[in-house]
Amino acid sequence: MTLADALSMTPTCFTSLDGRKMNVSCDELISPKTVKVVPNEGMPTANKTGRGCLYIKFNIVFPLQMDTDCQNLMVSALKSNAIELEME
């Protein structure tokens, strides 16, 4: 997942181990520590009557290059967010 997708809460699509295409919506900002739980999409249960939860850990791909203006804008936005969090 790109950094832009993580910050904009873009739904993501992936292929499960059994070959199904799955679309996962994200109703929160995604960070490298985010784990999304999808009920009934995990491994089959011991008694074979259903499936457990699927746990998705996100790998966020950060940009390798960024022009100075864009970098300054990102730093400014992140700093003002950090100040708001300190005030809570």
Q: Could you read off the pLDDT tens digit of each residue along the chain, which spans 88 residues? A: 888 888 888 888 888 878 889 888 878 888 888 899 999 888 888 888 888 999 999 888 988 998 999 989 888 888 876 665 565 5
C-alpha span between 13 and 29 (Å, rounded): 16
Instruction: Judge contact between 54 and 38, C-beta under 8 A.
Output: yes
**Options 1.10.3720.10, 3.40.50.300, 2.60.260.20, 3.40.50.2300; CATH of 3-63:** 2.60.260.20
The domain ranges of the chain are 3-63
